[in-house]
Amino acid sequence: MENSDIISSTVANIGSTVTDISSTAANIGSTAANIGSTVTDISRKIVLQQT
């Protein structure tokens, strides 16, 4: 393998890893939003029960 092949392979791997990280971050954001929504719903139910 020539150095240029190794470099382009490494760059491709890094690109793939960055894509995976971005995807994971998006999933975490989505999960956080779902948790926030659930907490809001629970809060509303608690408030309704107290009145």
Domain count, the chain: 1
> What does pLDDT average to in each consecutive run of 10 residues of the chain (51 residues)?
92 98 98 98 94 75
Domain encompassing residue 37: 1-51
* Predicted pLDDT at 51: 75
C-alpha distances out from residue 31 to 1, 14, 36, 45, 48, Å: 43, 25, 9, 21, 26
pLDDT at 50: 87
Tokens found for residue 47? 């408030």
The token pair that represents 31 in the structure block: 């999960």
Q: Which of 46, 42, 44, 22 is nearest to 34 (CA)?
A: 42
Q: pTM for the full model?
A: 0.66
